[in-house]
Amino acid sequence: MTEAIRDTLLFARRLLRNLMRQPWFVIATLTQPVVLLLLSSALFSRVATLPGFGWESYLTFLAPGLVIMGALFAGGWNGMGVIGDIDRGVMDRLLVTPMRRGAMVAGKLVQLTVLVVLQSVILMALAEMRGATFENGPAGMLALLAAAVLIAAPVGALSTAIALTTRTVESLIAGVAMVLLPLTYLTALFMPVALVPRWIQVVAPYNPVDWAVTAARTAVSSDPDWGAVFLRFGYLTALTVGCVFLAVRAFRSYVRSV
């Protein structure tokens, strides 16, 4: 166990060094949620006056969802680094080292966690500057960060599995888009569940992104239901375990093929 943790941290340190050399990647993954934060909060501000909306400010309602959205897409592009390592021959050199194979998958998730926390803090700060309120204080904001990490982790592991299986950028982009776009819109991210079409209301409770959005939004409310928050955290943790298992299996398949 000690060796596995050591290998994971060593691999994560390498990835974080690479990330520090490419700050544009952080900016690129922030672009979409920041644009939505700045534009949607202005364009749809009057949505808060709709009967049954239940929030005084659309920006306050939207901000936790955009934090989750940023984490979701950061996880989705997690496999890009894997394909880069394969194309440059770095992966083949790593395979002749005594580093544990599972540590390579876990190290990617550690790097992703650091990236997601950094992005989420930036988004939360921007949202507060625009007038959003996180009413539950530090506890709610920490829970919001936890929700962001817990949605990024399974998606990041799944992205790694797709990258190891397809080994091409084009296939990874297509696979990630096919998964993430429906998951993003079949949620209460942009509108309360009560105001979305009935069929989305039926589907949303089974959507992992909705679990994260609901947990985040509940945690930062003035009267949070922590039981509901931790229940969804449990769902997301179980999903993470399953996706990590898939990523490790994909890694083993890759090793057998080289």
Query: pTM for the whole thing?
Result: 0.90
Interacting residues of 147 by C-beta distance below 8 A, sequence separation 6+: 64, 67, 68, 212, 213, 215, 216, 219, 232, 233, 236
CA dist., res. 86 & res. 52, Å (int): 51
Q: 175 near 79, Cβ under 8 Å?
A: no
| CA distances from residue 162 to 22, 66, 177 in whole angstroms, order as listed | 23, 25, 12
Structure confidence at residue 25 (pLDDT): 67
Structure confidence at residue 230 (pLDDT): 96
In the chain the beta strands, taken as DSSP E runs, fall at none
Q: 29 near 148, Cβ under 8 Å?
A: no
Which amino acid is residue 115, in one-letter code?
A: L
Structure confidence at residue 1 (pLDDT): 56
Structure confidence at residue 206 (pLDDT): 94
* pLDDT digits (tens), the chain, 258 positions: 577 787 788 778 877 887 777 767 667 767 777 777 777 777 777 888 888 787 888 888 999 999 999 999 889 988 888 888 888 887 878 777 767 767 788 888 888 998 899 889 988 988 888 888 888 888 999 999 999 999 999 999 999 999 999 988 999 999 998 999 999 999 988 888 888 889 999 999 999 999 999 999 999 988 889 999 999 999 999 999 999 999 989 988 888 886
Count the alpha carbons within 13 Å of 250 in the hemisphere toward its beta carbon: 21
